[in-house]
Amino acid sequence: MKFSIRGLSFLTIALNLILPASIAQEQHGQLTPLEIPHAKLELELDGELNDTIWQHALDVPLEIVNSPWNNKPSPVKTLAKVVENGDYLYVAFIAQDPNPELIQGFLGDRDTRWGDDLVGFKLDTYNNRRLNYEFFVNPYGVQHDSIANEMTGNSDSAWDGIWASAGKVTRDGYQVEIAIPYHILNFDDNDEVKTWAIELIRLYPRDSRLRISHIELDRDDACWLCQIPEIKGFKAAKASKNLMLTPTLVASKSETRDIFTPAADWQSENDFDAGLDARWGINANTLLNITVNPDFSNVESDAGQLSVNKTFSLFYDEKRPFFVENSEYFSSNFDLVYTRNIADPEYGAKLTGTYGNHSYGAFLTNDTQTTIILPGNTGSRLISLSEKSESGAIKYRYDVNDNLSFGVINTLRQTDNYHNFVSGVDSKYRLNDSNTIQAQVLFADTQDAANMTISGQEESFSDHAYKLAYQHNSEYWQLNAEHQAIGKQFRADLGFMPRADYQKSKVLIDRLMYGEPDSAWQEMKFSGQWQILHNENGELLERSIAGSFTIDGPMLSMLDVMLVGADKVGLRRHELDYNLPIDNSIDGNTSRFQENQAIIYATAQPSTQLATELELTLGDKIDYDNNRLGDYIAVYANVSYNVNKHLEFELSHTYSDLDANNANVFTENLTELRVSYQFNINSYLKFNVVYTDIDFNLANNPSAYSEQDNTLSTQLIYAYKINPQTVFYLGYSDNSYQDNRLKNLERNQRTIYSKISYAWLP
C-alpha cells in the first residue's frame, strides 16, 4: 500500500482552498441574503470597470481569511461587484496589493494557472447544496472553471463552460471582469424571484496561499457547500432552451512503416471526417446532448506513466467535451462510469437534468473498438473484441432532505454475444456537521463471448459488490473508515474497477495543527493509516500500516514524510508459469513478502516564476514478474519556469530502479519536456516531448524479451480558441521505437492533422 502523493498534492492544496470546511447549514440561514441588482445595460469586457452598469452593482468586500488562517482579517483589500442584466450575471473584482510586483499571474491555456493569483466565486443555482459551479480568473483573464459535487466530494475541472472574462494588472494590484451567460447554467426558472447561493473568493499566493472570502467558515462543519449564503433576484433570468450546434471538421494524414524491415516504405493514409454536436435545452431543467461521428481523440497527449512491474491497469483522465459535460450526474461511490473505456464511437446521446429534489442522467453511445478490463485480486488485464459495442448509463438521485440522499445507477456494455449489466443503489447521510455515512450496493450480470473465455464456450455469471464508509471532518481531527467487498465474478466493464475478489477494510486518521499568521508554518498534520485486504475465501492479500508527517512552510513549500510497512502476496504460480493449470487460491499458491518503504515528498516556489517538486521512494518492492522481493528506488522531479507572461518551460523526470539477488532487474527513465508560448488568452503554441528509456537485465530478469524498450514521442500544436467549442487546431506528432533489434530510435509513425469546430446558436 502506498498513498498517492505526487500529482495529488497541488490539486489537494487548491481544492482545500476552494472547498474548505464551513459553517453549519443551520447557521448560514441566519446570514442576510444578498440582493442582486438588475440593470438592463450592456458591458464591454476589458478589465477597466468603467462601464455604467457597474454603478448599479452590489459592492461586497472580501475581508476574511479562512484558510490557512481561521477567519482572521485579510492583509489585502478586495472588493467584489455583482450585477445582472437578464442575460448575464456580471461579477467584477478589484484586488489591491501592497506589492504588485509580487502578483503571480501568467498567460496560459484554460484551467492551467490554478497556482496564480485568482479571484472568482462559487454558485449553487439550485440552492440545494449538492452541486455548484466554480468560476475563477487570474490577473490576465485566464479562465478556470469546474463543477463540485458535495455527494462525492470531488471537483470536476474538466468541465468547460462558455463564458467571458478580462483581466488587467494595475499600479495597485489587478482587476477582473466576468460575464456568465445564463444559458450555460442549469437552474429552475419557474419562480420570478430566484434564490441561489454564492461565495466570493480571492486566492492570494505569497509565502502561504491565503483563501480570502466575504464570509466566515467554521472548520467543524464538513459540508463546505451547506453554509454558502444566499443571493436573491435574477427576475429576468431564463434557463437555456436554446439549441447550440457545433459542427466539426477533422483532416489528417498519417504515415506508418515497419521499422524492422530494412528500407521499408512509408504507408500513407489520409482521413477527412465531419461531425456534429448538438446541445439542446429542452426545458429549464433538462439538457440533451447529441453527437454524430465525433472526433473523440485527445488533441494533446496524456502525461506519461511508467508501466513496468505494474499489475493493474493505468488510469487516464477524461478530457472529451461530450463525456465531460454534466458528468457529475453519473458519479457514485464506486467508479462505475469511466468513459475512457469508450474509444471510438460513431454516435452518442446524453440527457441530464434536475427537478426539485430529483436529478437524473442517461447516456448511450456505440464504440467501434471494444476494450475490456478483466479484474482480479492480484492484477488485471486488457482484452479487445473485434466487434462494435454499445455503452450506456442511467443515474437517478433523490434528495430526501438536506442531510439524506438516495441514488440508483445502471450501466451497460454489450455486443451481439457479450454483455455486462450493473445495477445498484447508493446513499449519503449527514449525521451532523462533522459526521457522514455513505453506502453503495451493486449487482452485476455478465455474459462473456466464447472468444473471451478459457473454455472457448460462452459463459454467464453474476456477482455483487458493496461499500460502506464513515467520515468525520472537524477542525483538528479527520477520520475515514471504510469497508468494501467486490465479488470474485463481479465486473463493471464501463467503469474503472480493475480489482475483484477482494474485501478491504481501511482506517485513516489525521490530526491537524495550525500556526499563527506570523509563524513560519501555517498547518501541520500527523496521519496514520491501517488497511487489510482478503479475497472472498478469507485468504490474506495485503496488510499494511503507514504513518506520515506533513508541514507547510515559506515560499509555498510543503514537506511530507511517510513510512509504510506492508505484508503482500506476489502473483500466483500459474500466472508465472503458463504451463501450470489455473488455480486462483492464495494460500499455498503464492509467496508473501514484507515491503517497507520511506516516501519523501517536497514542493516549493522560490519565486513567482519558478516552481519545483520532488518525490523520493526508498525501500522494498515486489518484483512481480519473478516473484521475489527487491530493493527499490524511485525519484520524481519537476521544474516549471515562466520566462515571462507568455513563455513557460516544464521539465519532469521519473527514475525507478529495482535490484534483486544482488543484481539489477530493470531501470526506467521517463522524461517529459513541455514548452508553451501563449500569444494571448485565445491562442498558443505547444511543443511536447515524452521519452521513455527502459533497460532490462536479461541475466536477472528472464521474463523480459529485450534489454532495451525505448520510445520517443513528439508533438507540436498550434491552437486558437474563441471558446471551448469554437476552436482551431493544427498539429504534428510522431513516434519512435527502439529495442535490441535496432541500433537507434527509429520513427515508425508520423501524423499531421487539423481540427476546426464552431459553436453556433441558430
587/613 same-domain check? no
Q: What is the DSSP string of 600-666?
A: EEEEE-SSSSEEEEEEEEEEEEEETTTTEEEEEEEEEEEEEEESSSSEEEEEEEEEEEEEETTEEEE
622/653 same-domain check? yes
As given in the structure block, the three cell numbers for residue 620 are: 522494498
In a domain, 426, yes or no: no
The CATH number for 203's domain is 2.60.40.1190
The residue from 593, 619, 649 where one domain ends is: 593
* Separation CA 356–CA 45 (nearest Å): 35
What is the model's pLDDT at position 25? 37
pLDDT band at 514 (very low <50, low <70, confident <90, very high): very high
566/617 same-domain check? no
Give the residue among 130, 93, 271 at the shortest CA–CA distance from 751: 271
What is the model's pLDDT at position 724? 87
Paired with 533 in beta bridges are 504, 542
* 303 touches 378 (CB < 8 A): no
* Separation CA 684–CA 671 (nearest Å): 23
* Separation CA 24–CA 221 (nearest Å): 6
| Residue 627 Cα distances to 584, 592, 694, 747, angstroms | 16, 9, 20, 35
In a domain, 109, yes or no: yes
Top-confidence residue, 662 or 8: 662
* Separation CA 397–CA 317 (nearest Å): 24
| Residue 725: pLDDT over 60 | yes
In a domain, 494, yes or no: no
731/654 same-domain check? yes
In a domain, 488, yes or no: no
C-alpha 548 chain-centroid distance: 24
| Residue 577: pLDDT over 70 | no
Give the residue among 284, 273, 271, 277 at the shortest CA–CA distance from 241: 284
In a domain, 442, yes or no: no
pLDDT band at 219 (very low <50, low <70, confident <90, very high): confident
With left for phi above 0 and alpha for psi between -120 and 50, is residue 7 left, alpha or beta? left
Taken in order 326, 329, 332, 336, the sign of the CA dihedral is: negative
Q: Determine the residue type at 116.
A: D
CB atoms within 10 A of CB 663: 11
- The residue written with cell numbers 521539465 in the block is 651
66/156 same-domain check? yes
Backbone angles phi, psi at 340, to 5 degrees: -65, -15
Structure confidence by residue, pLDDT tens digits, 665-703: 999 999 999 999 999 999 999 999 999 999 999 999 988
* Separation CA 301–CA 703 (nearest Å): 30
pLDDT band at 363 (very low <50, low <70, confident <90, very high): very high
* 103 touches 96 (CB < 8 A): no
In a domain, 88, yes or no: yes
633/521 same-domain check? no
Strand-strand pairing, 230-233 and 34-35 = parallel
As given in the structure block, the three cell numbers for residue 660 are: 534483486
Q: Determine the residue type at 698.
A: L
Mean pLDDT of 711-719: 94
In a domain, 320, yes or no: no
134/191 same-domain check? yes
What is the model's pLDDT at position 1? 36
* Separation CA 635–CA 596 (nearest Å): 17
- The residue written with cell numbers 525505448 in the block is 710
Structure confidence by residue, pLDDT tens digits, 601-621: 999 999 999 999 999 999 999
87/190 same-domain check? yes
588/615 same-domain check? no
614/587 same-domain check? no
498 by Cβ neighbours in 10 Å (0-12 / 13-18 / 19+) ranks as buried
Give the domain range for residue 716. Answer: 609-762
The residue from 233, 257, 278 where one domain ends is: 233
Strand-strand pairing, 58-67 and 209-213 = antiparallel
| Residue 543 Cα distances to 2, 147, 568, 626, angstroms | 12, 36, 7, 21
| Residue 302: pLDDT over 60 | no
* 141 touches 166 (CB < 8 A): yes
Q: Where are the alpha helices (DSSP H) in 132-263?
A: none
Mean pLDDT of 382-411: 91
What is the model's pLDDT at position 18? 46
| Residue 24: pLDDT over 50 | no
* 254 touches 269 (CB < 8 A): yes
CB atoms within 10 A of CB 397: 23
525/557 same-domain check? yes
Structure confidence by residue, pLDDT tens digits, 119-155: 999 999 988 888 889 999 999 999 999 888 777 677 7
Give the lowest-confidence range in 159-168, 214-223, 463-472, 630-639. Answer: 214-223
* Separation CA 220–CA 226 (nearest Å): 12
Give the residue among 18, 11, 286, 284 at the shortest CA–CA distance from 134: 18
In a domain, 493, yes or no: no
Number of domains in the chain: 3
* Separation CA 465–CA 491 (nearest Å): 9
583/618 same-domain check? no
* 575 touches 569 (CB < 8 A): no
What is the model's pLDDT at position 321? 73
Percentage, residues of the chain above pLDDT 90? 64
* 47 touches 94 (CB < 8 A): no
* Separation CA 179–CA 51 (nearest Å): 13
CB atoms within 10 A of CB 232: 14
| Residue 5: pLDDT over 70 | no
Residue-level length of the chain: 762
The residue from 537, 561, 593 where one domain ends is: 593
* Separation CA 560–CA 686 (nearest Å): 33
**pTM of this structure:** 0.86
